[in-house]
Amino acid sequence: ISLLLNFTSRAQQWEWAIQENVKKITVDSSGNFFTQKDSSIKRFNSNGIPEWQKQFNGDLQIFGMAADNSGNLYFAGRFTDFSFANTHFTSSGGKDIFFCKIDSFGSFLWYKIMGGPNDEKVTDLYLTKKQKILLCGSVGPGATIGTTLFSDAQLFAAKYDANGNIELLFNHSGGESWEVSADTSGNIFLLGRTNINDTLDFGNGISLTGYDISDPFGSHFIAKFNAAGTVLWAKDLGSNYYQPFKHLAIDNIGNFYLAKWQRYAGFDLRKFGSSGNFIWNHSIAGVSGDCLGTCIDNADSIWTTGYATNGPFNGQPYIWKFDAFNNLTGTTAATLSASGSNIANDNENNIYVSGTFNDTAVFGNTTLLSSSGNYFLAKMKRNSSQISSVKKNSEDSGSLIIFPNPTKGQFTIQLSVALQKKIKPRDMIYVYDQSGNCILRQQFSDLAGAQIDISRMAKGIYLVEVEYEGGHMSKKIILD
């Protein structure tokens, strides 16, 4: 029996995949991208063809990099002694901060050194929509950033223009900054921690106090500052050594997202409003896994990459896609198993992902074998084709009953006795919109049927599909 309604699926096709071991990746506005691994930086064109490689010798550790609209690369790290571009650098004591710009051909344009007699560190680098460069980190007493001399240990955030001129520096005692980002208006967000038994005073009457606990991470915080560096608000995120917040990402209207590891029980993706108000939480639960990277495309879809080693996902996904309304709209599964470590998007919403895999990894027409190295770097081309298809059901249409239909959002799926015998507890229910996007997936908790809620979705026609070993059943439902 054929389904009478054709659904159009916008396929997300792999454009290419190569075996490249990388720690960091950043993409420019034309789809060219840079990678970093240990002591080398490489540039590739948008087709995945390497164009050049630059090497540095010594102990430079890179913690952040970003490519601007002209194809220049900024990167920052910490060092004691290293050489790069025929120049030798030695710290003034302990570890200092190194920050530089190279052009699209790999030529050295300028560099900045920040430090003093103690250890300093830069923890993140972010390029704003206005092509300003943000750095964050921590410095010790005696350190210098620009013309500012620090008398005690402090966290900092700094903003530079494309020529390396410092435009803004704000710093506070009592904590550390881990990640920095900015919204389209230039407001700056800092993710970090408050020291144990300490007060982190941001000024403007806003301060946070670290808990009297044994947790060496102290208390996690997120704070928002205006473009002039004045704090607008700060939010205490709680504390758990094994469950830190990470992967700060901001959408086009100023909402922000944070991922949180749940210690061998999966991970959460949390959304907050521009005022720090909690909006929703999506838990990838029942798996031993983690989120290792996040990006937001121009349509405000949230992409995460990481790993899942068990649980309700068939094929062990390593890429998850969410919409702004807390719907898991798609996953990308590994051939056997894979772990994504970095994910990024270009201006055309193509997705770039890197990571590792076991045995074999298939990306469209490209197959990678671990015998040549168990790492990958791949590009997923968004909406590269549209395919209309009619699927045939494996059972009589009476085996799958949906009611009420039409629905206001909540409906029941009921299975025939014959179909119940074929369903296993880990089999899945999928709901698709007319563009072929998966807007909901749910495991069977009761083999007799399931309760489904799509009330948050727009009115229209949807496809409900039940997949099981050896077959599938699908029916349309009308949301009015």
pLDDT score for 214: 56
pLDDT score for 212: 61
* pLDDT higher than threshold 50 for residue 6: no
Q: CA 382 → CA 12, 350, 376, 440, 477, distances in Å?
A: 5, 5, 19, 20, 27
Per-residue pLDDT tens over the stretch 47-79: 999 999 999 999 999 999 999 999 999 999 999
The single residue listed with the structure tokens 């050295």 is 108
Contacts for 147 with CB less than 8 Å, ≥ 6 apart = none
Q: 397 in helix, strand or coil?
A: helix
User: Mean pLDDT over all residues of the chain?
Assistant: 87
Contacts for 266 with CB less than 8 Å, ≥ 6 apart = 283, 284, 285, 286, 287, 288, 289, 308, 311
Q: Average pLDDT of 80-100?
A: 95
If you count DSSP H runs as helices and E runs as strands, how many of each does the chain have, helices first?
A: 1, 43
Name, of 142-156, 325-339, 356-370, 457-471, the range with top average pLDDT.
142-156
Q: Do 9-388 and 391-479 fold alike per CATH? A: no
Positions of E strands within 128-198: 133-139, 144-145, 148-149, 154-160, 166-172, 175-182, 188-194
More confident residue, 172 or 460: 172
pLDDT score for 24: 97
Torsion angles phi and psi, residue 407, rounded to 5: -130, 155
3-state DSSP percent of the chain in helix, strand and coil, to 5: 0, 60, 40
pLDDT score for 218: 65
DSSP 399: G
CATH number for the domain running over 391-479:
2.60.40.3080
> Are the CB atoms for 109 and 165 separated by under 8 Å?
no
* Pairs from 451-454 (Cβ < 8 Å, separation ≥ 24): 451/410, 451/411, 451/412, 451/413, 452/410, 452/411, 452/412, 452/413, 453/409, 453/410, 454/407, 454/409, 454/411, 454/479
* pLDDT higher than threshold 50 for residue 155: yes
pLDDT score for 8: 37
Q: Average pLDDT of 235-251?
A: 86
- Least confident stretch, 81-85, 264-268, 370-374, 445-449: 445-449
| Structural domain 9-388, CATH architecture | 6 Propeller (2.120)
- CA 421, 427, 433, 439 dihedral sign is positive
pLDDT score for 10: 41
Model pTM? Answer: 0.78
pLDDT score for 42: 98
Per-residue pLDDT tens over the stretch 280-304: 999 887 777 889 999 998 888 999 9
Residue-range domain boundaries for the chain: 9-388, 391-479
More confident residue, 394 or 233: 233
DSSP 371: G
Percent of the chain clearing pLDDT 70 (strictly above): 88
> Are the CB atoms for 313 and 421 separated by under 8 Å?
no
Torsion angles phi and psi, residue 224, rounded to 5: -120, 135
The CA-to-CA distance between both ends of the chain, in Å, stands at 26
> Are the CB atoms for 101 and 73 separated by under 8 Å?
yes
